[in-house]
């Protein structure tokens, strides 16, 4: 990926220069737009921001107990 | 011995095929791509006339739809979000997409383009009616046969935006931008300012 030293061809967008990926940028834009919605739509949109995932670290070739994370949008 | 034949043949042909592809005309001039690779099949039959030629990746791909010789009168638009399909196969006169290079108007017969979208207003024009959506970010793929596929992460009709929240957000992020220290904070604040000013422009424009 393009590093800060722009030896490559295109001018990188400011978020890429700051080390952010496109997906992060896109998700931030989307959550900002969602936060500016009027009321009934805003609560429907809040459900779209929830993430639910389980992480399990592996040690010595065996999985440890997974931690389940469920993040709802909170700054 | 014959087991290796397809692998060696494909490798031998790749140079020829690759070279020819580079010299090819633009997609607007090319007819629909053929499904079978005739050069490969001929070469195979010379080497192994009794064996069925194996399928090459080209035969698994659906052929590119043909570009009509005359410009169609309407543009077919597909506008999708991750959770629903806003517009599906609708024939319209024009769409204006908020590309990073500026507002881009797409008419039927537009050259094939891939455009990255910035936060802004997408307007769909059909006769006298105009439907406007605020798009957070995404991509617009315009194909040579006048079909436009627009994908966005979040898009809402303009009347669902709350103006007071937009003003408050804009003030917040402008303040954060001036007080930001690290590169990442500056980038986030800049994104906030960009999005909120685009929403502001959408409400007033």
- The CA distance from A35 to the nearest CA of chain B, in Å, is 8
Domain limits of chain A? 4-70
List, for residues A38-63, the tens digit of each pLDDT value. Answer: 988 888 888 878 888 888 888 888 88
Chain A residues in contact with B153 (beta carbon < 8 A): 26-27, 29-30
**Cβ contact (<8 Å) for A36 and B136?**
no
pLDDT score of A8: 62
**Cβ contact (<8 Å) for B156 and A41?**
yes
CA distances from B22 to B25, B33, B37 (A): 9, 15, 17
- Tell me how far apart the alpha carbons of residues B185 and B197 are, in angstroms, rounded to a whole number: 18
Output phi, psi for B151, to 5 deg: -120, 135
- The CA distance from A38 to the nearest CA of chain B, in Å, is 5
List, for residues B164-181, the tens digit of each pLDDT value. Answer: 999 999 999 999 999 988
User: Which range has the worst mean pLDDT, A4-8, B17-21, B118-122?
Assistant: B17-21
Closest CA in chain B for residue A40: B160
User: Which range has the worst mean pLDDT, A8-17, B20-29, B122-131, B133-142?
Assistant: B20-29
Chain B interface test: which of A30, A37, A51 (most B C-beta within 10 Å): A30
Residue bearing the bigger pLDDT, A70 or A29: A29
Closest CA in chain A for residue B154: A30
- Tell me how far apart the alpha carbons of residues B88 and B149 are, in angstroms, rounded to a whole number: 9
Chain B residues in contact with A25 (beta carbon < 8 A): 137, 191
Instruction: Report the complex ipTM.
Output: 0.70
Closest CA in chain A for residue B200: A36
Maximal CA-CA distance, chain B: 76
Closest CA in chain A for residue B167: A36
Q: Does A35 contact B at CB distance below 8 Å?
A: yes
Among A48, A43, A51, A35, smallest CA distance to B81 is for A48
List, for residues B100-152, the tens digit of each pLDDT value. Answer: 999 999 999 999 999 999 999 999 999 998 999 999 999 999 998 999 999 99
Q: Is the pLDDT of residue B23 over 50?
A: no
Chain B residues in contact with A26 (beta carbon < 8 A): 136-138, 153
């Amino acid at each position: 990926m393009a590093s800060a030293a722009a030896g490559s061809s295109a001018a990188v967008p400011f978020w890429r220069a700051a080390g952010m990926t496109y997906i992060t940028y896109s998700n931030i834009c989307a959550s900002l737009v969602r936060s500016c919605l009027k009321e009934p739509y805003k609560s429907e949109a809040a459900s779209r921001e929830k993430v639910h995932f389980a992480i399990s670290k592996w040690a010595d070739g065996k999985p440890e107990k997974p931690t389940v994370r469920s993040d709802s949008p909170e700054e | 011995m014959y087991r290796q034949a397809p692998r060696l043949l494909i490798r031998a042909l790749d140079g020829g095929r690759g070279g020819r592809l580079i010299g090819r005309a633009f997609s607007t001039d090319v007819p629909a791509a053929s499904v079978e690779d005739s050069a490969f099949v001929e070469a195979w039959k010379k080497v192994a006339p009794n064996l069925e030629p194996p399928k090459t990746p080209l035969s698994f791909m659906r052929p590119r739809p043909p570009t009509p010789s005359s410009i169609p009168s309407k543009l077919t638009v597909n506008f999708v979000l991750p959770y629903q399909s806003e517009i599906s196969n609708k024939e319209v006169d024009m769409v204006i997409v908020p590309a990073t290079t500026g507002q881009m108007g797409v008419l039927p017969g537009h050259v094939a383009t891939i455009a990255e979208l910035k936060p802004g207003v997408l307007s769909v024009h059909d006769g006298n009616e105009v439907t406007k959506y605020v798009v957070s970010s995404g991509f617009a793929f315009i194909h040579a046969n006048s079909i436009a596929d627009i994908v966005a992460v979040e898009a809402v009709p303009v009347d669902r935006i709350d103006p007071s929240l937009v003003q408050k957000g804009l003030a917040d992020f402008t303040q954060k931008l001036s007080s930001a220290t690290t590169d990442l904070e500056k980038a986030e604040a800049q994104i906030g300012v960009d999005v909120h000013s685009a929403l502001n422009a959408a409400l007033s424009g």
